[in-house]
Chain A
Amino acid sequence: MPHPSLSYPFDGKELLENKKSLRRELLANGEKRIPKRIAVLGGSTTNDFCKMLELFLLDQGIEPTFYQSEYAQFWQDAMFGNPTLDEFHPDVIYIHTSFRNLQNDLPEMDWTEDAVEQSFRDAYGRYETMWKRLREVYRCPILQNNFEFPPYRLLGNRDCWDPHGAVRFVNRMNDAFAAYAAREESFYLCDLQYVSACFGLDRWLDDEVWYLYKYACALEAIPHWAFNVARVVKSLFGRNKKALALDLDNTLWGGVVGDDGVEGIEIGEETATAECFRAFQTYVKKQKSIGVMLTVASKNDLQNALDGLNHPDGVLRPDDFIVIKADWENKDRNLLLTASQMDLGVDSFVFADDNPTERALVAANVPGVAVPKLTDPSSYIRTLDRNGYFEVTVFSADDAKRSEMYRANAERAELAATFGDYTEYLKSLDMRADILPFPEVYLARITQLTNKSNQFNLTTRRYTEEEIRASASDGRHICLYGKLWDRFGDNGVVSVVIGRLEGEELHMELWLMSCRVLKKDMEFAMLDTLVEEAKQKGVRRIVGYYFPTAKNGMVKDLYGRFGFTKRSEDEAGNTVWELSTESYRPQNHVIRVNSNES
């Protein structure tokens, strides 16, 4: 499970002092992590910053190696290149600048407005030039700090609107950074302005450590800054949580519905406590709109739970939840069942419960689940929010609709129960699919899928958006995505395959499918189209690879089921398969593909 001292609220000083032992502990726990190379281009000292970032990332399943520019050489590294950085091949570049790097651009009182404007354009322009060059050269995501507020205000309150004010200057820079982030893909901001505000600006800014060590913030603030960067990085590499499992009594409302009755629970506007729970329910409901899946994990009679959720002054309703488990089962077991019912890894869950005993039980028995320490109802929102479990970096249309899609799945399951013959059932779903090369609009979703899919994933290869774009356009790959509709609605982009052309062979670098469309024959539809495409490109053999992981056992024999012949297998269980395209016969008979009807 995530390390308790690395979750919010944490003690910055404590973490700095214990960083060596914590690192040792994390590396020894045997967890499998994805290796990632992170280039930190600093405008101030970055050493302890990277050490903290390493701890937070190790805790979230990523094993980072760092490139750190020489002291304050971010601009030189970015603009003039550096052989060490080139060889490093960063997976992500993080530009660690702060207000300290803005000193020479700040307007003087005797400047004309034109001169101020020019200085602003120059200052901003340097950053944009740098981002563009980095993007061109390294083709990886870029993460950039915006600026914290200045340490003093020469003009007092006027500083925030007068063009000569440093506060105004910072705000304008931050606006310009935000505009760039809004229009450019693979460019992300670390909101230093917000993080330093949360921490408290006067505590954040520490001239002594600046003059002594050239750290841009107080030592104890370093972990808070690093944590915020870790949130973005882990999200980019697919380590966000996906579902929020909620207790009911004293978590979503005050009191115990089984004892107090629906009239007795506190939710709504009547008391301070009631308002507090209403605010929390509102916060939870908003999670749905960013694609977080909600479930209930409660010790209650089901009817009482439903009555509580239908309380007229409540915000959440039973149909906001994908699974409602209200029974007398232990919560660890309850959570495991919920996860398997949703075809989700249990490590994708955050478990929110006010009861420390339940939290301890779940933390001890459910591997990888995050268990935030909810203490007082008035701090529930902050505790969940600051932990950044669901950090939104890439937001696709599918995220907004996720809950709907999962609920439709539950309805499909009900329909399936009424059919004797499975093929008849599949036909009754009236399925239609688009299986086509990657269009620009889906690159974000496709990238997201490559980073999220663990189970139906033959090679578990992770891609950045740049790599996806490159494969789609270099003419040396066949790239197909699959989008599936049925009578219950749109399933969105659910499958991605990428093969590399090598003479008469096509080598499958990636084959993945979302588990929400398992057993729909979508994988056969993908194969049919792939073989078709491959033949047109003169491919005679398709070579498939299966690399086993802790999670992808379900597709161990997929290529066998497809009709491939096994070429080889090594001791680690890695298998290589091949299929002749000439003798291939289509295998999907239930999905209409690329039929252009709506």
Chain B
Amino acid sequence: MTETEIFTRLNRVFRKVFDDPSITVTRKTTAKDIEDWDSLEHITLIGAVEREFRMRFTMKEVSSMKNVGEMADIIASRAK
């Protein structure tokens, strides 16, 4: 899966979870950049990303991801 493909799908998930069609995420995007992205919505987001890419993050990854770039790297290494 190419990085572009991953980001296209990630954008779809972010827009759905935050109910905001204007969101476009990049490698550098963090929770600070999206208004509703707090620790509680993070849970929904992780679940939705896992479902989209049919993979699971480890507990360690969930608590240590720093930005969307790191998320995309994990997806690239694991997604089918």
Contact = CB atoms under 8 A, between A and B. Distances in A.
Interface in A210-246: 211-213, 215, 219-220
Contact of B47 (A16, A21, A24, A47): A16
A256 B54 CA distance: 45
Interface in A23-48: 24, 47-48
Most buried by B among A17, A21, A24, A211: A17
A17 B62 contact: no
A208 interface: yes
B17 interface: yes
A21 B44 CA distance: 14
B43 A17 contact: no
Contacts of A209: 43
A17 B63 contact: no
The A interface is mostly helix, strand or loop, or mixed, namely helix
Contact of A17 (B40, B48, B59): B48
B47 A13 contact: yes
A18 interface: yes
A426 B29 CA distance: 77
Interface residues of A, number: 18
Contacts of B40: 47-48
A17 B47 contact: yes
Contact of A20 (B17, B43, B51): B17
Given A17-B51, A18-B16, A48 B59 contact: no
Interface residues on B, range: 10 to 19
A314 B16 CA distance: 49
B17 A17 contact: yes
A59 to B, nearest CB: 17
A386 interface: no
A592 interface: no
Contacts of A48: 40, 43-44
A219 B44 CA distance: 8
Nearest to B36: A20
Interface string B13-55: 1001111000000000000000010001001100110010000
Given A212-B63, A219-B43, A17 B19 contact: no
A21 B43 CA distance: 17
A21 B59 CA distance: 28
A220 B48 CA distance: 11
B44 A16 contact: yes
A566 interface: no
A19 interface: yes
Nearest to B42: A213
A20 B62 contact: no
A215 B47 CA distance: 13
Contacts of A219: 43-44, 47
B60 to A, nearest CB: 10
B2 to A, nearest CB: 24
Contacts of A211: 59
A567 B77 CA distance: 76
A19 B13 CA distance: 13
5 contacts: A13-B47, A18-B16, A48-B43, A211-B59, A212-B59
The 7 residue pairs across chains A and B that have the minimum distance between CB atoms: A20-B19, A17-B48, A21-B19, A47-B40, A219-B47, A213-B43, A16-B44
Given A16-B48, A21-B16, A47-B40, 14 more contacts: A13-B51, A16-B44, A17-B47, A17-B51, A18-B16, A19-B44, A20-B18, A20-B19, A48-B43, A48-B44, A211-B59, A212-B62, A219-B47, A220-B47
